[in-house]
Structure formats: C-alpha cells, structure tokens
Structure 1
C-alpha cells in the first residue's frame, strides 16, 4: 500500500512518498521534482502536467492553469473576473452555476467543471506516483489553502474520489509545513515537555497566488495552530502581472505593439516576466527577451531590482497586515515568537524578505526546503494516518478560519426558543465535535452557514448545508422528544452533521459514598470482623440514549450519481490518452526500425548481401517509409505493429546471418537441435 503526500499548488505540484527511511520527494517523467498544475486538450488526447506546459503557447485556448483557484466557485463570483487575467481558456457557466471551462477536445466543444479538471490532474499525479513506487496508489493527504471554505474543500474531495484516490486528510499548507518542521526539529533540538511553555514559531508561506501566516506552538506531544491570517491575492503571479503591465507599456512605445490585443503575445511576455523575476532575486539587473512576441517583432528590455520594487510597491505595503493579524489573534507579541520560518517561492524576493525581517526585528530561518516543505509534511501526515506505517505519537491540532452558525425554525410550542447559534467559533480546533440539543415533536431542519460572510473569499455564498432530522415524534406522554444532534468539523475541514439520536430521562440508582467512620474512643477496641454494611443508594434522573434519528444531508458536494458519471468519464478519457500514447510509441518504434535497418543495410550488412539484394531491401524500406508518412501518418496502434512485424520478418534473418558470421560456432560444437542416433 502506498503512502503519498501531495502539495497541490496553483503553479506546480510536488509529490512526496513515505518510505522506511523517511519522506522523499519523487520526480516526474522528465525528472523534475515538481509538475506544472495544468491541463490541456488536443485533437486526439489530453495533455497534463509537463506536456500541457510544453504546448501552452501554441494551444492557449485549450489550456487551463490555476486549477485550484476555480475550486468550489460559482461563475457569477466576482473573483472569477480576477482569475480570467491568469487563465487563457474561456471560463463559462457549468452545471448548477459552477464555473467551468469551454475547450475543444477531440474535435468537439466541451465544457468541463473545475472539479473535473482537478480530477484529471490528480489522475496524472496518481500515475506519476505509481510509476515511481511500482505500486497502486490509493491513500493520499492533499494540501489546501487555509482560507478554503467548505464548498471549496468538498470540490477537492470530490475530485480525488473521481480520480480513484482515497483522501485521508486535507491539510492546510502551513500546517503541513509545520509538521515537516517538527520532523527536522526533533533531530536537531529538544522540544519542550508537554505542560511547559511551548516553542512558538511563525510559518510564512508566500507562493504563486497566496500569502499565509500561521503561528504554531510545539511541544513533545504535538503542535497546535494558534492563529492563521492570509492575503489571498498576494504572490508570484501578482509580481508577474506588475512586470507584464510595465513591459506592455515599454513595448507599446518602443515597438508599437499592443500585447493586450493578442492573447499569445500576452502569455509569451508572461513567461518571460516570470523568468526575469527569478533572475532579479539573485541579481541587481536583468534583461527580458521575447522572440516573435507578435507581428514578427523580437522584443527586449532591461530592468533593475530597484525598478521592480517600485513596480510592486503597492504589494509590498501589504506585507505587514497578515503578520499583525496572526499575532493579534494568537494573543502574542513579536518577542514571543521563537523562529520565523519562510516557505514558498515568492519568499525569495529580497524586498519581501527584508520587510518580514524588519517587522519581527530578528533573523529569518530557512530550515525547510522552500519548494518542498508542504509536500514533505503531507507525506508525513499520510504516514501518521495510514495503517502501513508506525510513527511517533504527535498530535496535530489545526483550526477553522471562519465561524460557523446553525439556524432552525422556531418550534411553535417553544415561543422563546432561539433560532440560531454560532456553534464553531473562528479558530475552533479541528477536528472538533459539538452536540446540539433540541426539544421537538416532529421532524425538523437545520441549516449551517458561515456567520461572517463578509470575511469569506470573494462573494461566496455563506451557505454550507441543510440537514433534515427524521424520525422525530412525541414521546409516550405526548411530550417533546429530546433530540441530540452531533455536528463535526472533520480532518478535511468540512462540516458534517454525522448522526442524531434521542434520549429519555429515567430513574436509576447510584451508590452514595459512606461518611467517614467516627473515630473510636480512647482505649476502645474495634472489631474488624463484622459483616460489611450494604452501601447506601439514591435514585437520580439521567438521560439515556433510546434510539437513532436519521439525518439527511444536503451539502455542496456533488451527488453520488454525478460523481460516478464523472468518474466513468475520467476513466474513459484516461484510457483514450493511454491508447494515443501507445499508438504514438508504436509509430515511433516503426520509424526507428526503418532507420536502423537502412543504416545497417549500407553498413554492417553490406558484407553479407549483394548489391541487387540491397537494392530490393532498400526499396522495401522506402515503401514502408512512404506509407508511414502518407497513409500511415494517422492510423491505429495495431497497424503500426503489423507493419513492423512484416519488416522484422524480412530483416531479422539478415541480422542473424551477420551475428553468425561475426561469432561462428566452434567446429566441434554440436548442434543441440540435431538428434543423435
């Protein structure tokens, strides 16, 4: 059984696996330690990961990036307009008002939902891990931004199930990094004992699109997230956008071209801007060069680090806000923070590092690999939850980012009853369970929603789910049934009303402790051999569980029928991709065999063939080559294989004849195929 952790990033994804020696990051098919988070569609198959990135510019309208930013979103959400700046494909309204993408796939216009797109990508991640492990991949732990809401998390959960994966936990990015940090820390230093003042560490993650700060307390028993703050539109892509806008003006003035009017030109400049940003992190000045940006113009320019800092000044002014919020919610001061750990590619920008160091007034720490820390933590988290591995006991206590309240209709027989309650407050521990008590004579409904919708990402609906409690009826005395409803925020950070039951008050007898015996008078003997007196009891009323109450849930998760339909479609597309890949391999193998035979025909085989034979064999190869580039340019895998078998039937005897001549058998060696009489 496999144990896999996945840092599913906006720009790229990193995969880790737990092995006996620890947790390792694995490489993909081109030996890269991360894979572009991208899905594209072509006339024959899909392109996912590295292959999608390779053809991005030539197939922009059918290439989808920033997949995670679409999770759980409605098309009418104003933040979809922001995402359109970073996604070349056409965003459209899909089923149920969700955001989808319109692409041309196998010659047909199709619309795929964000959940389907993520499932496609996770299928590729599963295949990459399986190839490395040489095992079927099932159990995974997946990273997720701390600010993701219930619908967004459920969208990821549905995607993993469609991809044929068993999700053990959704782990917040900074929580995963902190778990990885605890692994390294235990080998380098001693954490405080449980009950002592914990070590408090700030984890700052600035990736491609999000800036997150978490204050986390550690001791030997585990880690507790004290607070998390974030800026959802602060990251590498925002710096890239500032560079693109700058050079759009430069190229407009210098070359009289408008990159905003040409989608390919825009994304060509975007690729160059990202490279420029990385160079400026280590150098004070760097050039930008974009070949054939548009209208056959090769554009170029220069930028200094100081100029870059001026361009992103509005962004830099927002660095302190999440830091201040995280400290305030944790109830700590800067002096209480023992270390400041930086992760994420954008923490390499010098001006960002300088501002963070200045805020805390102490050196920054780089204990973790900035690009792989989250994946390592997810891998360890998966090992902790998997029955395959035995890991040290180490508790991980996360928190929710938004308060959750329940609402219900007032019972007509309870006129003063409240109709809402905040059940899970902000920063409530995760996982967490609450028992809600209701007095009812008939079935009733509960609705869960976020209590502070103004703090949600974008204009997302605060609605989380509706839960219908069935089987409620008056008790034997025609009085209220006392209903107990169990609400739980689980390891995925999503809310479920898992079960309900009803209780009744019954009288039970319980023992009463005897009063201490009176001290004996001085000089009086006590006979200890007397029979013990029966213990005193008293009758008390207690609530006793009498039966279950079915709960029917309606949430943002897709229904079972839709999930199964999408899973079947995903399997079909994956099989089509596999067939296309195998067909292309068969074609390449045939072409390679033709070239190999031609090379040998006028090379090593010359001494075993006559000129007339070579002429006839060369003609045979030319006919096969003509077929390959004409009629056989687009045919089936079976036809390529048949054509190769036909050629091998002709040319393999030549190879055998050549081998026999070069390595003749000794004269005294008997032929094993000749029967001795």
Structure 2
C-alpha cells in the first residue's frame, strides 16, 4: 500500500519594513512637502522616483512616519541629504527634478541619484497600414512628440548616523591593515612549524632511510646544521620574521633534497626492476598457456601419435 503524495504550494520569503518611512523637503513649487514613500509591511529592496519642482538647491530628510511606534530610545530621524547644482531651464519657472530613492537589500533608506529633466520635442514617424495592391506607397509622415530627457545630474551629499566618509575610509584602512597583520602572523607561524617538522623528519630519515645515500661528511654537515637550526629555533629565532624561517628551511633543504633525490632514484630503480620481473613472469605464463592451447588443438584434429604407428 502506497502512502498518498502531498503537494506543497510554492512559497517565497520576503523582507518587509517594520515601520513606515517618509521623505520630506523644503517646499518650493510643489503641492506638498513630504510623502510616505516606504509604507509599513512593504517589501524591500524597493526603488521609487520622486518628482519635485525646484528653483534652487534643496535638502531632503528621511524619518520614521510614526515615532510613537518605535522601540524606546530610537531616533526617528534616519538621514539628511543636500542636493545641489539645480539650474532652472530658460523659459521655465522651475526645474523638474527626479529624485531616485531606494530601500536597499540591507534595509537602508537612501537617495541613489538626482537629476534634472526637460521636455524636448522629437519628430517621430507615423506608422501607417501597408498600401493595398495597386496603390502607390504614400509619402512618410512625421508627428511632433514631447518626451522628458535627462539634462543634468545633481550632486547628492549625505549626512546621518553613519560616519563621515573620510573617517570611515580611515577606519577601513586600519581594519585592512589589521587583517593583513593577522594573516602575516598566521603565515609566519606556519613557516616556523614547517621548519620544526622538517628538522625532526630529516634527522629521523638521515639515521634510517637516507643512511646509505649520504656520505659520512654529508651526514656530519647536515646533522650539525639540524642541531644548530633547532637551537636557534628555540632561542634567538623564537620570534623571527617569516622570511628568516623560509631561509633556514631552504638552507637545510638544499642538502636534504640531494640525499632525498638519491633515495628516490634508488626506489624508482627497484620499482622498475620489480615491474620488469613481473612483466617477464606474465609473458612466460602467457607463452606457456599459448603452447598448451596449441597442443590441445592438434589432439582434437586427429593427429596420429608415435605409439599408434609402432603398433
């Protein structure tokens, strides 16, 4: 008996605002001086466009619409911006300014950009039905259309609870330096440990695996260097720099690798010899089987044996 299959409806997670947020500005040629842009429960990230009519530079504030709903001690003011560079087009009473505001993926409320737009006239081809069969194609006709075109970007300067840009840059620089320092400390410790491990490993192999692959003078020289390096490591070299550990390691390896190379060469020769022996045995066994199969084939074809002829 099969259990019934359960189907689950598709679902998704959305981030929503816990509090409503309003943007306000010093009123100029607009009908109002504020607008609740991001309502409570609204999903984010979200981008909105405000259209303002300005005769000069202006300022914008963002704040929580209902301060009484905020947790105790929370400042209802979110951010403040100064927007400069406003120029009224010739023949107009005010400049049409587009302000792009955003509730970004991190939940911050920002002004991404601000710019002036002007209404411009463009000639646009009038679309017509294709001529019927036998009719001549009519001359193209154009109409004048008006469109809003961006004419100038404005400067947006932020101030709020965040650190000033210069101070933030200085702190970030300090943070990056601390990260680099920590990384250097870790890498230095790794090189120190690698040197210590190499001393013990090489000393052990020099008395065992590498014993027959180093001359007496090489063993004496290397043993002394290992002892001297070990003493240095626990005394003057305890707090040495990364480059010093690397140099000491390479000094030992310059001799150790020569001896290791001879050992590895001998091991390879033994492996090659064993492989050749195995291949020869395999070939002999194959030849033996081939000869046996040929003998059986002759018997089945009715070959007369010598004993039968003598009888």
TM-score range, shorter chain: 0.5 to 0.7
1:500 correspondence with 2:105: no
Structure 1 residues 555, 660: closer, same or farther in 2, change over 3 A?
Answer: same
Q: Partner of 2:75 in structure 1?
A: 461
Contact 1:405 1:422 survives alignment (8 Å): yes
User: What is the aligned partner in structure 2 of residue 405 from structure 1?
Assistant: 22
d(CA) in 2 for partners of 1:457, 1:422: 20
Equivalences for 1:503-582 in 2 at 5 Å?
503=118, 544-545=148-149, 547-548=151-152, 550-556=154-160, 558-582=163-187
1:479 to 1:646, Cα distance in 2 relative to 1, 3 A: closer
Q: Check conservation: 1:472, 1:549, Cα contact below 8 A.
A: no
Give the root-mean-square deviation of aligned CA atoms. Answer: 4.8
Give the alignment of 1:380-391 within 5 angstroms: none
Which secondary structure does the structure 2 equivalent of 1:631 belong to? Answer: coil
Preserved contact between residue 469 and residue 549 of structure 1 (Cα < 8 Å): no
SS at match of 2:56: coil
Matches within 5 A, 1:71-470: 199=9, 225=14, 398-411=15-28, 418-456=32-70, 459-470=73-84
Residue matched to 2:131: none
Q: 1:587 aligns with which of 163, 187, 192?
A: 192
Whole-angstrom CA distance in 1 between matches of 2:267 and 2:37: 85
SS of structure 1 residue aligned to 2:200:
helix
**Structure 2: where are the runs of 5+ without partners?**
127-134, 273-311
Partner of 2:99: 485
Q: Does the residue aligned with 1:633 lie in a helix, a strand or coil?
A: coil
Does residue 623 in structure 1 map to residue 228 in structure 2?
A: yes
Give the Cα–Cα distance (whole angstroms) in 2 for the partners of residues 447 and 425 of structure 1.
16
SS of equivalent residue, structure 2 residue 189: helix
CA distance in 1 between counterparts of 2:207 and 2:233 reads 21
Q: Does the aligned pair in 2 maintain the 1:467–1:551 contact within 8 Å?
A: no
CA distance in 1, matches of 2:88, 2:77: 31
1:593 CA drift (Å): 1.6
Partner Cα separation in structure 1 for residue 236 and residue 245 of structure 2: 11
Contact 2:120/2:149 (CA < 8 Å) preserved in 1?
Answer: no
Please tell me whether the aligned partners of residues 464 and 555 of structure 1 are also in contact (alpha carbons under 8 angstroms). Answer: no
2:207 to 588, 602, 607: 602
Alpha-carbon contact 2:222-2:252 (below 8 Å) kept: no
Q: How far 1:631 sits from its partner (Å)?
A: 0.9
Structure 1 residue 596: deviation in Å?
Answer: 1.4
User: CA distance change for structure 1 residues 612 and 401 in 2, over 3 Å: closer, same or farther?
Assistant: same
Q: 3-state SS of the aligned residue for 1:488?
A: strand
The whole-number CA distance in structure 1 between the counterparts of 2:87 and 2:221 is: 93
Partner residue in 2 for 1:644:
249
TM-score between the two structures when normalised by the length of structure 2? 0.60
Quote the Cα distance in structure 1 between the aligned partners of 2:151 and 2:240: 65
After superposition, the Cα gap between the structure-2 partners of 1:640 and 1:432, relative to the gap in structure 1 and judged at 3 Å, is: closer
Unaligned runs of 5+ in 1: 1-187, 192-198, 202-215, 217-223, 226-397, 512-528, 667-677
How far is 1:554 from its partner?
A: 0.6
Distance 2:189 2:178 in 1: 16
Closer, same or farther: CA 453–608 of 1 in aligned 2, 3 Å = same
CA distance in 2, matches of 1:483, 1:609: 84
In structure 1, distance between residues paired with 2:215 and 2:209: 13
Task: Report the alpha carbon displacement of residue 657 of structure 1 after superposing the two structures with TM.
Answer: 5.3
User: Does the 8 A contact of 1:400 with 1:429 survive in 2?
Assistant: yes
Query: Could you tell me whether the CA contact under 8 Å between 1:403 and 1:424 is conserved in 2?
Result: yes
Cα deviation, residue 474, structure 1: 5.4
Distance 1:645 1:564 in 2: 40
CA positional deviation for 1:584: 1.7
Q: CA deviation at 1:456?
A: 4.2
In the alignment of these two chains, the number of paired residues is: 256
Q: Which has the larger radius of gyration?
A: 2
Mapped contact 1:406–1:422 kept (Cα < 8 A): yes
Question: C-alpha distance in 2, partners of 1:438/1:483?
Answer: 5
| Cα displacement (A) at 1:570 | 4.0
